[in-house]
């Protein structure tokens, strides 16, 4: 039996998940108890079968040339995040690609810095504007 804390809402129900025999879909049947609403069922199923997380990181920014006089105190990194949750198994690969990027300012908050990462549909956006 697995015990999870549902993070869908602030109540944080403690969910008990018992795995049964494997079904036709290749996954074990799950018996989930402890949820106060149906959303806890979906959360527990996804968390057991295909856990995902929103990925947050920072990405390098190319500073303006020293000759412009704007390089002093210019931010070196910009916070970024995935627009949708990313499968946990792919998080290290996503982070490696984010850390390889060097963005040229200006960067606007909400602007995609990577679109459809490796064909998965995952988009990574800037969280802060750097102008
Ligand atoms: S099961 Fe429903 S009520 Fe309980 S934490 Fe999850 S979303 Fe909230």
Check residue 47 and give its pLDDT: 93
The CATH number covering residue 65 comes to 3.10.530.10
Here the tokens at position 92 are: 């290290």
My answer on whether 16 and 74 are in the same domain is no
Evaluate whether residue 75 is within a structural domain: yes
| Boundaries of domain holding 24 | 2-50
Evaluate whether residue 131 is within a structural domain: no
Residue 8 has pLDDT above 80, yes or no: yes
The finding on whether 44 has its CB within 6 A of some atom of ligand 1 is: no
The finding on whether 39 has its CB within 6 A of some atom of ligand 1 is: yes
Q: Per-residue pLDDT tens for 10-33? A: 999 999 999 998 888 888 899 999
My answer on whether 93 and 118 are in the same domain is yes
- Residue at a domain's end among 50, 65, 89: 50
Distance 44 CA to ligand 1 centre (A): 10
Q: Which residue has the higher pLDDT, 14 or 1?
A: 14
The finding on whether 13 has its CB within 6 A of some atom of ligand 1 is: yes
Q: Per-residue pLDDT tens for 37-61? A: 999 999 999 999 899 999 999 999 9
Here the tokens at position 87 are: 């499968």
3-state secondary structure the chain: CEEEECCCCCCCCEEEEEEEEECCCCCEEEEEECCCCCHHHHHHHHHHHCCEECCEEEEEECCCCHHHCCCCCCCCEEEEEECCCEEHHHHHHHHHHHHHCEECCCECCCCEEEEEECCCCEEEEECCCEC
My answer on whether 30 and 87 are in the same domain is no
Evaluate whether residue 122 is within a structural domain: yes
Check residue 53 and give its pLDDT: 94
Q: Which residue has the higher pLDDT, 108 or 27?
A: 108
Instruction: Identify whether the C-beta of residue 87 lies closer than 8 Å to the C-beta of residue 50.
Output: yes
Q: Per-residue pLDDT tens for 55-102? A: 999 999 988 777 766 666 778 999 999 999 999 999 999 999 999 999
* Pairwise CA distance, residues 127 & 44, whole Å: 29
The finding on whether 114 has its CB within 6 A of some atom of ligand 1 is: no
Pocket perturbation via mutation, ligand 1, pick of 3, 7, 9 by most ligand atoms within 8 A of CB? 9
My answer on whether 46 and 11 are in the same domain is yes
Report CA dihedral (43, 45, 46, 50) to the nearest 10 degrees.
160
Check residue 65 and give its pLDDT: 72
User: Whose alpha carbon is nearest atom 2 of ligand 1?
Assistant: 37
Here the tokens at position 4 are: 């999870």
Check residue 23 and give its pLDDT: 83
My answer on whether 58 and 121 are in the same domain is yes
């Amino acid at each position: 039996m697995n015990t999870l804390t549902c993070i869908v809402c602030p109540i944080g129900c403690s969910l008990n998940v018992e795995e049964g025999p494997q079904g036709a879909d290749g996954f074990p049947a799950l018996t989930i108890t402890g949820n106060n609403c149906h959303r806890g069922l979906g959360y527990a199923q996804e968390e057991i079968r295909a856990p995902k997380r929103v990925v947050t990181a920072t990405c390098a920014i190319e500073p303006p040339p020293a000759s412009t006089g704007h390089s002093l105190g210019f931010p070196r990194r910009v916070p970024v995040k995935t627009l949708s949750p990313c499968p946990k198994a792919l998080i290290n690969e996503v982070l490696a690609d984010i850390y390889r990027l060097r963005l040229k300012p200006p960067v606007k908050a909400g602007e995609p810095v990577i679109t459809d990462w490796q064909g998965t549909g995952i988009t990574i956006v800037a969280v802060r504007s750097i102008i």
